[in-house]
Amino acid sequence: MSSEMDISVIPSPYVKPSVDITSVQIRVMNLVLFTSVSVNALLMDVNNKFIDAKQYTLTGDDYTNWSNDDTYIVNYVLAQLGLTKA
């Protein structure tokens, strides 16, 4: 038997096991002055293991409301994710 085999199967849904998100790492990825900011949110589990990533872009009033207050971005991202800060 070879060390690798590629087997076609009938398409079937795959459901990942449920995992609790215990922290979010937020990083500014792109900033266009006076226009927008894009942030990446990394969802982590209790062991600080990566679960998923989401990207959000703040424009218009959301960008203006950010100003220099990073708490605004944290609250924005958590609201988009349906999460509450501990």
Instruction: For the chain, 86 residues long, give each residue's pLDDT as a single digit of tens.
Output: 568 889 999 999 999 889 999 999 999 999 999 999 999 999 999 999 999 999 999 999 999 999 878 999 999 999 999 999 99
Cα-Cα end-to-end distance for the chain: 52
Instruction: Say what the pTM is.
Output: 0.80
* pLDDT at residue number 16: 82
- Hey, which residues does 30 pair with through a beta bridge? 38
> What is the layout of strands, in order, in the sheet containing 23-32?
23-32, 36-44, 50-59
